[in-house]
A and B are shown apart, each in its own frame.
Chain A
């Protein structure tokens, strides 16, 4: 029994937010939200009695290097009551990577926003403690950005190991 499909969301959403665009990808409804309206849209999806997306399944950052806006934050919401998923996408420009935090609405956003901050440098305004979660605190940069080099050190072979080991730092007693 299908309790709700994408058309139901598409009926309700334009009434409250007429400018917001939606599209479908492999059966999942994607809602392109400007970041100024993110809190309102999320609150609408959570509190409307016909939708009730009460669970934030996951949240992640994406780096589309060379595209404008460069970053994107993707949220997946689940409605237990109507057994339906929806995806929110928020574009984030590189020069001002700020997105309102959803921690007040869904506590599960707390650590995942910290991870997106750690890996991509996206700042979630209003987050209770936006610190690094995976990398050490003195780490510089954001490692999952596409412009960070992939390898960490040159691979040592027999023909070049002497030069590499001459520069490498080894621990002493």
Chain B
């Protein structure tokens, strides 16, 4: 029996500061809505009761950058919109993370043309890329959980790994089976 368990029996929990801080950050991440196109529909259903993003402490999805620390860029960003995305990112308080949801936000997707920014990583640093056109809500939730894993590994002084993005590309995501209406 170690000292930690002994202390826990007495009602004292020992941990280190980084774990406590990262635990707090992952379990109350406030997303900034950035629905720009069809991916926003999947993002909305991820928040709705079927998939229930609130399980991860993401109760409040609102378009208010000052109170957010996670930006989900869902959809293609046009070049005229790009300064707005960067402006909102600059308004968010540190620490802040960005998820590029879908192919268009990750790399431009099918829109390889003059009007669309070829990947939102040209304007804001991206932590997690979620592939799909559009990605299913499970894929988005998977990306958010990947981000949680990443945040849990963060150090207060910062590591090299912290700046490296993650790509979420899982072809065989488990589909939630919906009850048949007839049966």
Chain A contact residues, CB within 8 Å of chain B: 134-136, 139, 143, 148, 150-153, 155-156, 168-173
Contacts and interface: CB of A to CB of B under 8 A. Distances in A.
By Cβ-Cβ distance, the 7 closest A-B pairs, closest first, are: A143-B114, A151-B112, A136-B80, A153-B118, A171-B123, A171-B124, A170-B121
Interface residues of B, number: 16
A152 B125 contact: no
Interface string B76-114: 000110000010000000000000000000011000111
B104 to A, nearest CB: 13
Interface of B: 79-80, 86, 107-108, 112-116, 118, 121-125
B80 A134 contact: yes
A148 B112 CA distance: 13
A115 to B, nearest CB: 13
Nearest to A153: B118
A173 B125 contact: yes
A163 B49 CA distance: 44
B125 A150 contact: no
Contacts of A139: 79
Contact of B114 (A152, A172, A173): A152
Nearest to A154: B112
Contacts of B125: 170-173
A121 B87 CA distance: 30
Given A136-B79, A136-B80, A153-B108, A148 B122 contact: no
Nearest to B96: A173
Contact of A155 (B112, B113, B123): B112
A150 B114 CA distance: 8
A53 to B, nearest CB: 34
Contacts of B112: 151-153, 155
Contacts of B115: 134-135, 143
A153 to B, nearest CB: 5
B113 A135 contact: no
Contacts of B79: 135-136, 139
Nearest to A143: B114
Contact of A171 (B80, B116, B118, B121): B121
Nearest to B94: A173
B103 to A, nearest CB: 12
